[in-house]
A and B are shown apart, each in its own frame.
Chain A
């Protein structure tokens, strides 16, 4: 079976985010960018399914600037077979991304779309669910375990208070949570091999999709800073302070 794995290029999760003084957004100039951590987990899971012989082909797709090719290259080095970049400098909303991915699914006909549950920039946690709705496919979000048997996937999901297991008919959209796996580091030979793999480059206009924004960002601001408090010397003093504050 064939798997489509959408991947996003985002600010590296170890970088401290700085809001631009003019409140138009976050400063991304000269900042380290990486594959979104949840996307990495999705790629890893697809590669493991291929190693188990369940999956035969993995296509990594990214929608973003020219540099998103590097993100696709990372997926190829981890074990994806080929890549597709829909190149745009616009920061598309999840709705537009889901519409483009739907068009890609139409061309590629995968049996499974495996993607991260959210990107750590916009923190929307929406694209997978939206793609499933547009395709009329079932969804299994926040996956911590995936088992494929025939034309069905059994997915254990991280929900509030515990775990839930759903069986979805394929084709389906599954989104990855943190504990699904620990992504591998690509080996040097695999990085070299990835350079020979194909990345097709397209534009959003190739798909005839309405990608106009529905949300206008009026401003981006820093959250209010929390003032630091005091150091206490002992547990006794701590309890005294907590009583004064009225929290115990």
Chain B
């Protein structure tokens, strides 16, 4: 069987999510091709060709693909599926937007957010916000899959796949891209960060969030996250949200500050390697899953922690 991976990129460069999806694809087949559809995405295509185990890269270059619009991706990918038995996307906003549309066009039941490949038609995926895992067997001839990237290791480099140029596509007539506001930050991207510091409702204000959580994150070289309660209260922007309805992260170190540990939040971070919780309520549910719990008011604990981190050279 042959598998197509739809690359996640920002036109300028390939995103690490692609490397993870390639690993999932290799569990299905040794014939893995990567589709890079974008505008000015030549470097991303070359990077994809350099991933270990990639047979070749299909590079579709055109304005129609600059924003990953689902309708344009459908027009591109559906005909390509004549040559593939499965197509895999990262379970990101872009992947989740496009994959089901393509599945419906192929009359296929999509398999969302897989975290394990059992065999070429059997997959494990979380349901009920990760409170249960479902093992499903697909009877569709072609599989359309999105991949939970935190569950797979990144494919290495060292491949030497060829890059093949394919059509420029046609912009979808009924959809016009009007603009985007991407938050500019020097911090690592939340979804792929090795360390994450998250703040909760206990922060009490956006100012406090800014003055407590962000310096600690910067000291650790970490991405900033937040609980849904903190986001709903307006202390942090929506794309900081870690949890069932936000981002799912699995960093090496996750520091939860003033977060009680609602089920929705735990669903988004419980696969982190080491979890630290700082909360003044010793009975908070977050302590049940934290490797290291510090029962203290964050107002004193975070400055102390900053001081101790400085002592060890951070």
Contact = CB atoms under 8 A, between A and B. Distances in A.
Interface stretch (B22-30, B36-44, B120-128, B204-212): B120-128
A19 B132 contact: yes
Interface in B266-293: 270, 273-276, 282, 287-293
Interface stretch (A53-61, A73-81, A164-172): A164-172
B131 interface: yes
A108 interface: no
Interface string A1-33: 000000000010100110100000010000000
A64 interface: no
A129 interface: yes
Interface of B: 67, 69-71, 74, 92-94, 96-105, 107-113, 122, 126-140, 172-183, 189, 191, 195, 220, 228, 232, 238-239, 244-245, 247, 252-253, 263-264, 270, 273-276, 282, 287-295, 301, 304-305, 307-309, 311-312, 314
A125 B112 contact: yes
B293 A26 contact: no
Interface stretch (A189-197, A198-206, A231-239): A231-239
Given A95-B103, A123-B113, A221-B133, A247 B273 contact: yes
B292 A125 contact: no
Contact of B136 (A120, A217, A222): A217
A38 to B, nearest CB: 8
A128 B113 CA distance: 16
The size class of the interface chain A forms with chain B is 35 or more
A29 B291 CA distance: 34
**What are the 9 closest A-B residue pairs judged by CB atoms, nearest first?**
A229-B291, A126-B100, A130-B104, A214-B109, A235-B304, A133-B104, A129-B100, A138-B174, A17-B131
Contacts of A184: none
A138 B69 CA distance: 10
A238 B292 contact: yes
A197 B232 CA distance: 33
Interface of A: 11, 13, 16-17, 19, 26, 93-95, 98, 120-134, 137-142, 144, 154, 157-169, 172, 178-179, 213-223, 226, 228-232, 234-236, 238-239, 241-243, 245, 247-248
Contact of B308 (A13, A124, A126, A239): A239
Given A163-B180, A228-B289, A239-B312, A11 B189 contact: no
Main secondary structure of the interface of A (DSSP, over half): mixed
A154 B276 CA distance: 42
Given A129-B104, A133-B105, A218-B122, A121 B127 contact: yes
From B104, B175, B180, B270, name the one whose CB has the most chain A CB atoms within 10 angstroms. B104
Contacts of B111: 215
A231 B102 CA distance: 49
Contacts of B294: 231-232, 234-235, 238
A124 to B, nearest CB: 5
B138 A214 contact: yes
Main secondary structure of the interface of B (DSSP, over half): mixed
A236 B135 contact: no
Contacts of A137: 174
Contacts of B181: 162-164
Contacts of A248: 220, 253, 309, 312, 314
Contacts of A165: 177-180
Contacts of B98: 129
Nearest to A230: B292
Contact of A166 (B178, B195, B228, B245): B178
Given A121-B127, A161-B183, A226-B270, A166 B132 contact: no
A157 B238 CA distance: 11
B101 A158 contact: no
A3 to B, nearest CB: 18
19 contacts: A13-B264, A93-B109, A98-B104, A123-B128, A125-B113, A132-B101, A138-B172, A158-B239, A160-B247, A165-B178, A167-B176, A214-B109, A214-B138, A226-B270, A228-B290, A231-B294, A238-B294, A245-B274, A247-B253
Contact of B139 (A125, A160, A215, A220): A215
A220 B127 contact: yes
A78 B303 CA distance: 47
